[in-house]
Each structure stands twice: as C-alpha cells, then as structure tokens.
Amino acid sequence: MADIIYKYGKSVYANITNKCNCRCSFCIRFLKDGIGSADVLWHKENPSKEAVIEAIREFDFTGFDELVFCGYGEPTCALDILLSAAKVAKDEKKLKTRLNTNGLGNAENGRDIVGELSKVIDSVSISLNAPNSIEYEEITHPGFSNSFDRMIDFAKKCKEQVKEVKWSIVDVLSDDDIEECKQLSEETGIPLRIRHFA
C-alpha cells in the first residue's frame, strides 16, 4: 500500500493523489516508485479525504514544523482533500503548510482557488519548469490550452494572497533557460529557487 505521509530529507510530505494534469518529461514518478521514507507512492486507489486526515492525525510530527503537500501527483487535482487536510494540519497539529504545485489549479478546477488556498496554505512553491510557453508545452505536456499563461496568472494571484510564494526549477534546464527564468522571476516579483535534480 502506498504511503500517504512520508519523510524526505528534512521535511514531511503528504501524498494525497496520483492524479495529475501534466506529463512532465523529467517527472520522478516515471523513474522510481517511491522516494524518501516511502518505498511506494503509487496508490492502488487514490485515498479518501478521511484516510488522508486520519494519516495526518496519526503521524508523529515531533521534530518537524511543516507539512508539504507534494507526492506522486498534483495536489490541486484533489482540491477538497487538500483544503481539508491542510486545515487539520494547521488547526490540530499546529504545522505550517506548503503546497508544491504545477500552478494549474485554477485551470483544473475551473475557477480561481487561490482565496481558498490562502486560508490554509502558508507557502506555495510553483514549478516553473520552462521560461516560455513553447518549451513549457514540450516539457510538461499539460492537459489545458494556454497552460503557461494560466500558470503565470495563478502565481501572480498567489503572490497577492498567500504569505510566501516561490518559483521552483530544476537544474536540468540550460543556462540560457535558467537566465530567462531569473528574468521572469524579477518581472513577477516572485523569488526563484533552483533545485538540484535528484
């Protein structure tokens, strides 16, 4: 059975769904079945809201002050579970909450979800993946039209309403692309974090 809560490095993560609206060429879930303390992050069946909440309630968070919503899927594809689970993490476990997302949550849910997220999510990290729409489409194969622009719009809305917002890229991008991402980071006023691909 796949883990819902797992540890990786210095953080604790919630793997709430395997649903995703992209098919990124570098996605780690196509390389191995699990990471960190989880041997398997592929759910046989996506967990219910009750199962996710129970997993959070039962987990011993001693030594950790944050829960990161990030697993083998896009958390905003299970918005109801994400919002409810984040509320439990904050209210009952007194944790900070972070959402790692592909930034397509508004496109996925057909409405602006940022106001709802801002009530229970302290920090949002958005995978930029590429600095322009042509490369973005090639790398992420998104399930929506105009996904790059919609992802940028989501990030700008987050910047207005969420305490902390960051762009995230992995260092597999070319130097030119990384430079372009830095420019986009400056233009949007959203800091850029460059992660090592592992």
What is the contact surface with ligand SF4 in residues (CB under 6 A)? 20, 22-24, 27, 29, 73-74, 102, 140
Q: Which is nearer to ligand SF4, 84 or 127 (CB)?
A: 127
- List, in sequence order, the alpha helices (H) in the chain: 49-58, 79-91, 105-109, 114-120, 133-140, 147-161, 175-188
Q: Which is nearer to ligand SF4, 106 or 140 (CB)?
A: 140
**Cβ of residue 70: shortest distance to ligand SF4, in angstroms?**
8
Closest listed residue to residue 43, CA positions, set 1, 78, 5: 1
Spatial contact of 120 and 97, defined as CB atoms under 8 Å apart: yes
Q: Which is nearer to ligand SF4, 88 or 151 (CB)?
A: 151
- Kindly give, in sequence order, each residue whose CB lies less than 8 Å from that of residue 148, ignoring residues fewer than 6 positions away: 130, 132, 133, 136, 137
Rounded distance between C-alpha atoms, residue 71 and residue 94, angstroms: 21
Q: Which is nearer to ligand SF4, 28 or 55 (CB)?
A: 28
**Cβ of residue 130: shortest distance to ligand SF4, in angstroms?**
12
**Cβ of residue 150: shortest distance to ligand SF4, in angstroms?**
14
Q: Which is nearer to ligand SF4, 74 or 177 (CB)?
A: 74
What single string gives the DSSP state of each residue in 25-59? TT-GGGT-S--TT-S----SSPPPHHHHHHHHHHS
**Cβ of residue 96: shortest distance to ligand SF4, in angstroms?**
22
**Cβ of residue 73: shortest distance to ligand SF4, in angstroms?**
6
Tell me the torsion sign for CA atoms 131, 136, 142, 146.
positive
**Cβ of residue 51: shortest distance to ligand SF4, in angstroms?**
20
- Kindly give, in sequence order, each residue whose CB lies less than 8 Å from that of residue 21, ignoring residues fewer than 6 positions away: 74, 77, 102, 104, 107, 108, 142, 143, 144
Q: Which is nearer to ligand SF4, 88 or 105 (CB)?
A: 105
- The residue type found at 33 is D
